[in-house]
Structure 1
């Protein structure tokens, strides 16, 4: 693998935007993301600038990308920090500080070569290294129909917690929580 895994930089907001829009056009997007291409494409540049800046430094969020030698981004994952008592993406409140992985996307031509695992490794290393708050677990949600993603998450150590929430836009479907607890 020749890709470099690194955090995005604030000045890369246009690439952040373009990559997110590409992800939202993937066939799995309707069950993988909480927003649609139609909604994202209408967001002003200031939204994308703020998003890139917020995910490039600080301790509240970090976006990791896999960048090829040619500068093309092949994959991404975003880490959101949820302090104890803070409301999570789905409105739940955790009793422990946790990290929440979202926005996972790897271009189809880069799948199956270990890239997603390397993105997750970087994201989780960053989360575990935070001093304040000290992250006690890393979690993610996966749509009940997204068996490919769920299988990958279990393969790298995430386990179902038994917690689920209604899938946004389709109350008959569920988003299932998987997590990894801090060791020691």
Structure 2
């Protein structure tokens, strides 16, 4: 099946909610996301509306993989982090960077290239941002999420050596992976 990778539109908040709830019901959710299905499902529509609106600008952007029938096979969000930005997770930005979060591909679309296409969209959007150039794209992966870590490495991300504790899991760690901006000639 062919998918179109495109930016989320603010009026698609209900579909964004649905795919997030599906992601949080995935068996990998406990090592892939920092919230539970119950937490997300309890949020009011106004939360989802604001979240979708916030994911359509220059500071955050969400991409979806849309099928011809209008269903969504996957999603990825990109958060812009500047040295003077609020720290969302891990260490404060030392350079202009983006942070990939909320990565999810429905089981029936896995292995079809959707994840690669979503990552390409997120990385290309990062490199094309105006203002000070983005120097790196980063993400975190739970130490027990080997499937995701293998995909990130295959895509070109490398472990930066930075780690962050997993909220609610005293001994577990999230490992930071990064993709550095290619040198411009």
TM-score normalized by the length of structure 1:
0.97
Task: Return the offset for 1:86.
Answer: 2.0
Over aligned residue pairs, what C-alpha RMSD do you find? 0.9
Q: Deviations over 1:146-169 (max 9, x none)?
A: 000000000010000000011111
SS at match of 1:17: helix
Structure 1 partner of 2:66: 67
**Residues 52-103 of structure 1: CA deviation (Å, up to 9, x unaligned):** 11112x2100000000000010000000000123233225211101100000
Matching residue of 1:143: 142
Separation (CA, whole Å) in 1 of partners of 2:85 and 2:61:
18
CA–CA distance in 2 between the matches of 1:12 and 1:19? 11
Q: Which residue does 2:36 correspond to in 1?
A: 36
SS in 1 for 2:42: coil
For residues 88 and 137 of structure 1, what CA distance do their matches in structure 2 show? Answer: 16
- State the partner residue of 1:11: 11
Preserved CA contact (<8 Å) 1:85 1:96: no
Which residue in 1 is equivalent to 2:92? 93
CA distance in 2, matches of 1:74, 1:175: 26
Rate the CA distance shift 1:151–1:68 in 2: closer, same or farther, 3 A: same
- Tell me the distance in 2 between the aligned counterparts of 1:87 and 1:178: 20
State the partner residue of 1:169.
168
Distance 1:14-1:171 versus aligned 2 partners, 3 A rule:
same
Instruction: Write out the 4+ residue segments of structure 1 that deviate beyond 6 Å after TM superposition.
Output: none
Structure 1 residues 93-172: aligned runs within 5 Å: 93-172=92-171
In 2, Cα distance between equivalents of 1:90 and 1:118: 25
> For 1:93, what is the secondary structure of its paired residue?
coil
Matched residue SS, 1:34: coil
Shift of 1:135: 0.7
**How much has 1:38 moved relative to structure 2?**
0.6
Distance 1:113 1:102 in 2: 20
Matches of 2:133 and 2:83, distance apart in 1: 10
CA contact under 8 A between 2:77 and 2:122: conserved in structure 1? yes
Q: Which deviations, in whole Å up to 9, do the C-alpha atoms of 1:119-163 show, x marking residues without a partner?
A: 000111111000124211000000000000000000010000000
The two structures have a TM-score, normalised by structure 2, of: 0.96
